[in-house]
Amino acid sequence: MKEYVDFLQNEVPEKLESLSANSKVQWGTMKAEEMLEHLRVALVLSVENVEDEIIVPNDKLEMYKRFLISDKPFGKDLPKPGSFDKIEAQPGALNEKKEQLLAAVHSTILYFNQNPNHKAIHPSFGKLNVAEWLHLHRKHFTHHLTQFGLY
């Protein structure tokens, strides 16, 4: 778990320094500000117990979870889960979005440290514990940082 926390606290801020509003997207339609907000919302979902339905059939959930905890990257152009739309977007320009994201990283890690037995539902992976959420965040952040040529 320490490596995931180190990634979020140290690598992510470093990578975000080179993100600009003009950063070229390698795939997809998100702008840099939208990507930052998307990652912030994912952090919020992992600590708030947003009531959400698991959209993956029970007989496939184990396979999805095996993928989650693997080091295989997410594919390109995957649809975002509907639960992301349940969290209100915060306004702001690029630098404000960076600050909001890094504040969410800090508060998420603090929450996980204070609540090591926390579990929350992800619609595609089921109920995840803290270690699984941290792994998911690393995989998710790496996916989107790669999308913008930062990784």
Q: What does the pLDDT read at residue 61?
A: 94
* Average confidence (pLDDT) over 26-51: 90
Which pTM does this prediction carry? 0.91
Note whether residue 133 is domain-resident: yes
pLDDT at 95: 95
Task: Give the structural domain span for 140.
Answer: 2-18+28-147
Q: Higher model confidence: residue 28 or residue 106? A: 106
Residue 141 belongs to a domain: yes
Distance in angstroms (rounded) separating the CA atoms of residues 112 and 149? 29
**HSE on the CB side for 126, CA within 13 Å?**
14
pLDDT one-digit tens code per residue, 52-110: 788 899 999 999 999 999 999 999 877 766 656 666 666 678 999 999 999 999 999 99
Residue 116 maps to a domain: yes
Instruction: Tally the domains of the chain.
Output: 1
CATH number for the domain spanning 51: value is: 1.20.120
Q: Is residue 62 part of a domain?
A: yes
Q: What is the pLDDT of residue 83?
A: 59
- Please tell me what DSSP assigns to residue 85: G
pLDDT, mean over the chain: 91
**Is 100 a domain residue?**
yes
Q: Average of pLDDT values for 120-129?
A: 92
Distances (CA, A) of 40 to 55, 57, 60, 97: 22, 27, 27, 9
Residue 23, in any domain of the structure:
no
Q: What is the pLDDT, as a whole number, of residue 81?
A: 65
